[in-house]
Amino acid sequence: MSTFKAPKGTYDLLPPDSAAYLAVREAIAAPLRNSGYGYIETPGFENVELFARGVGESTDIVTKEMYAFETKGGDRLALRPEGTASVLRAALEANLHKAGNLPVKLWYSGSYYRYERPQKGRYRHFSQVGAEAIGAEDPAIDAELIILADQSYRSLGLKDFRILLNSLGDSECRPVYRAALQDFLRGLDLDEDTRRRIDINPLRVLDDKRPQVQEQLTGVPLLRDYLCDACKAYHEQVRELITAAGVRYEDDPKLVRGLDYYTRTTFEFVHDGLGSQSAVGGGGRYDGLSEMIGGPALPSVGWALGVDRTVLALEAEGVRLDLPSTTSVFAVPLGDEARRVLFAKITELRRKGIAADFAFGGRGLKGAMKSANRSGARYTLVAGERDLADGVAQLKDMESGEQRPVALDTVVAELTRLLG
């Protein structure tokens, strides 16, 4: 062990477990790639103001959890706590929305940073795969994204997740609701901190997990009853489209999200095997965000799914991903001449696209065969001096244990055929 450890709230992804993370990222990305989303990558840090304005000055993410710092050059930056503000910033900067092809559909995958109190499922460095559809107001896009997330989880074999759906209204109806909510909350017996919230961010009080708060919230006004006609009609269409697609969801009139940019459709994917950190993904519409960061009006919608928590959800359900072994052929040379010959065969196999590995370090047969076993290879190729003199290598089928000599000049063709 070295003097150093991974920083608090972080962990390393190591083989073989890391393979599940790659598979989860791939499973989330595949339906997006297949649905017209193009890949985007943005820097790991941005001007701190982007998040302050975009995510919201009064959110926990901005006030408590942001890794903000000043560079030697005097720039105020922050490690990205989420992806939406960055992706929209990049799309606007590159004028993607002016190419006349709206919505601009983008997907991304990467690391995000929040200075949170670490616990199982909640880390200071975590990984998301996300999707954003920028510049169109169409319930079918909201539905598309929800359906694709459902498809991703299902393709991984997950079953115990639920989709919670709500509408947060728009700039017309939300202020009216906000005022009504504030009136109601002011009549309750709440602590100092929560009372302050009533002024700054009253919707967040709905999300308070403490029983003494939840008890008082019976009879709280719900946004559902304050939606304007346009928001109501929009929400109804989203619900119809996902129902028609056979995707099950639950209406959750108290669902609010930890980011301020949401309007209308909001949703969360929760997994029931994860305890308190049950949100495996979330998203919604953010029709006003572009203007908040200095862009034109560009109604948009998106989501991000947490890779770490999706892996935990797989563990909780006991789902074992069917991950093919990374190595198909493992070569074990006995002696210098065999090393030269087999190394050339391995190189040839790899160039043909066959996953192959080699016993490096000139170890004895026993140790090398252990490595061959551990590699998960289907076939092992062993050769010593006598084999070379006969012009063969021993081909061992690791499943049946059978071994037979194969002529050296046909061994690559033979393995290609066997692994077809």
Site residues for ligand HAM per CB under 6 A: 82-84, 114, 116, 122-123, 126, 128, 130, 132, 258-259, 279-284, 286, 302-304, 306, 308-309
* Shortest spacing between CB 230 and ligand HAM, in angstroms: 21
Tokens encoding 309:
């928590």
CB-nearer residue toward ligand HAM: 33 or 374:
33
Could you give the CA distance from residue 379 to residue 359 in angstroms, rounded to a whole number? 13
Q: Provide the edge-to-edge strand list for the sheet that holds 279-285.
A: 38-39, 104-113, 125-134, 300-306, 279-285, 263-271, 161-167, 250-251
374: three-class secondary structure by DSSP: helix
CB-nearer residue toward ligand HAM: 202 or 281:
281
* Shortest spacing between CB 307 and ligand HAM, in angstroms: 8
* Shortest spacing between CB 133 and ligand HAM, in angstroms: 9
CB-nearer residue toward ligand HAM: 113 or 358:
113
CB-nearer residue toward ligand HAM: 63 or 347:
63
* Shortest spacing between CB 284 and ligand HAM, in angstroms: 6
CB-nearer residue toward ligand HAM: 259 or 338:
259
Q: Which residue has the tokens 């929400």?
A: 235
Say if residues 262 and 247 touch (Cβ distance below 8 Å): no
Tokens encoding 101:
């092809």
Tokens encoding 418:
């066997």
* Shortest spacing between CB 397 and ligand HAM, in angstroms: 43
292: three-class secondary structure by DSSP: helix
CB-nearer residue toward ligand HAM: 286 or 330:
286
CB-nearer residue toward ligand HAM: 89 or 339:
89
Give residues with Cβ within 8 angstroms of 83, minimum separation 6.
42, 108, 110, 112, 128, 130, 132, 304
* Shortest spacing between CB 310 and ligand HAM, in angstroms: 7
* Shortest spacing between CB 295 and ligand HAM, in angstroms: 16
Phi first, then psi: what are they for 25, rounded to 5°? -60, -45
Distances (CA, A) of 248 to 68, 124, 163, 244, 245: 40, 32, 7, 10, 9
CB-nearer residue toward ligand HAM: 223 or 279:
279
CB-nearer residue toward ligand HAM: 110 or 333:
110
Transcribe 42-76 into DSSP letters: --SEEEHHHHHHHH-TTSHHHHTS--EEE-TT--E
Residue nearest to ligand HAM (CB): 306
* Shortest spacing between CB 155 and ligand HAM, in angstroms: 17
Tokens encoding 17:
């477990």
Helices and strands counted in the chain (H then E):
15, 16
* Shortest spacing between CB 101 and ligand HAM, in angstroms: 20
Tokens encoding 98:
């002016």
104 half-sphere exposure, CB direction, 13 A CA radius:
19
Could you give the CA distance from residue 299 to residue 136 in angstroms, rounded to a whole number? 5
